[in-house]
Amino acid sequence: SFPRRRGVPEKRKIRDVKKVVAVSSAKGGVGKSTVAVNLALSFARRGIKAGILDTDIFGPSIPTLLNLSGEPRLDEHNCLVPLTNYGLKSMSMGYLLPQTQADSTTGEVPMDTTPISWRGLMVTKAMHQLLHSVSWGPLDVLVLDLPPGTGDVQLTINQEIIIDGAVIVTTPQDIALRDAVRGIGMFQRMDVPVLGMVRNMAYFACPNCGHQTQIFSHGDSDHSCGEDRGVMAQCKRLGVDFLGDIPLDARVCEDADRGMPTVVAEETAERSARRQAFLAVA
Ligand code: ADP
């Protein structure tokens, strides 16, 4: 196991939270935040008291995904009060750190002029607040949207709070998968149970005829490559559950962009395969 860093406090439980489920991916852009927010909303839709904590420093996306912004207020104990939408409590690095926003008319993103060292200090302070000083109220499940990768930030979070289980998001692509296997190794070494893998962008569902096309080579033996390198095969090899497939679907992206994730956007669409896919993972 990893050596404990000197002076690092013992892992703590997050106050008033029964279970913490981390959603992790080895690299960015595989749909980790999209899965995390839809997972949390699926819990909320089932009457489970749920929250989402976004610890992504460089690309916090929960504010956009939940259409929330603004600085959280502090309660009488100096704890951050979560912002809520669609019945889901949320807290994000994005609410705490000044974000460089694109100019609404030109679309240009201004340079972040905050000095690096100061930004570092702000990040450390904000991370501590996020992990230890949020008034979640009683929650059954807190979904933790981790930054991508297996670096220092992920280790620190793992050392500071008790994570009850981890969900790994990957795409069928080889590189993402190889990295995901490394991610599983990190959780196993930290004694965090890996709940399973989600295969995002698993196939493309044609909006016109419904035909499913596998865009990325799956690598599982029932596909063209012949070698057992796919998600299913890796799950079997590592003794990790396969939690389900999410289709690559323009609607998932559109829903995300307008701040109304698929699980909420298609609430009344009984037969939406996209929505069902997220609910099935939860
Ligand atoms: P990550 O958190 O891994 O960086 P995001 O959740 O931010 O990834 O997703 C990256 C981009 O891909 C976003 O624009 C998102 O809307 C899009 N996306 C994620 N999953 C899907 C999907 N299943 N179908 C279509 N677009 C998706």
DSSP track, 91-160: EEHHHHSPP-PPPTTT-PPPP--S-HHHHHHHHHHHHHHHHH-B---SEEEEEEEPPSSSSHHHHHHHHH
Q: Average pLDDT of 38-66? A: 94
* Residue-level pLDDT at 228: 52
Give the pLDDT band (50/70/90) at residue 78.
very high
Residue 30 Cβ < 6 Å to ligand 1: yes
**Do the beta carbons of residue 261 and residue 255 sit within 8 Å?**
yes
Which tens digit of pLDDT belongs to each residue from 214-224?
A: 876 665 544 44
Of 51-65, 198-212, 255-269, where does mean pLDDT reach its minimum? 198-212
Name the DSSP letter for residue 80. Answer: B
280/153: higher pLDDT: 280
Q: How far is the CA of 75 from the centre of ligand 1 (A)?
A: 34
Residue with CA nearest ligand 1 atom 22: 248
Task: Answer whether 12's CB lies under 8 Å from 157's CB.
Answer: no
- Contact between 198 and 244 under an 8 Å Cβ cutoff? The reply is yes
pLDDT of residue 6: 59
pLDDT at 9: 63
Domains of the chain: 17-98+115-201+240-281 (3.40.50.300)
The token duo for 185 is: 């190794």
Residue 126: which residues within 8 A CB-CB, separation 6 or more? 93, 96, 97
- Which atom of ligand 1 is least distant from the CA of 36? 6
User: Which residue has its alpha carbon closest to ligand 1 atom 19?
Assistant: 31
118 exposed, middle or buried (CB, 10 Å; 0-12, 13-18, 19+)? Answer: exposed
ipTM for the complex shown: 0.99
pLDDT for 22: 97
Residue 199 CB less than 6 A away from ligand 1: no
* For range 33-47, the mean pLDDT: 97
Tell me what the mean pLDDT of segment 14-41 comes to. Answer: 95
Our mutation pick for probing the ligand 1 site, out of 30, 248, 253, counting the most ligand atoms within 8 A of Cβ, is 253
Q: Is 6 left (phi over 0), alpha (psi -120 to 50) or beta?
A: beta
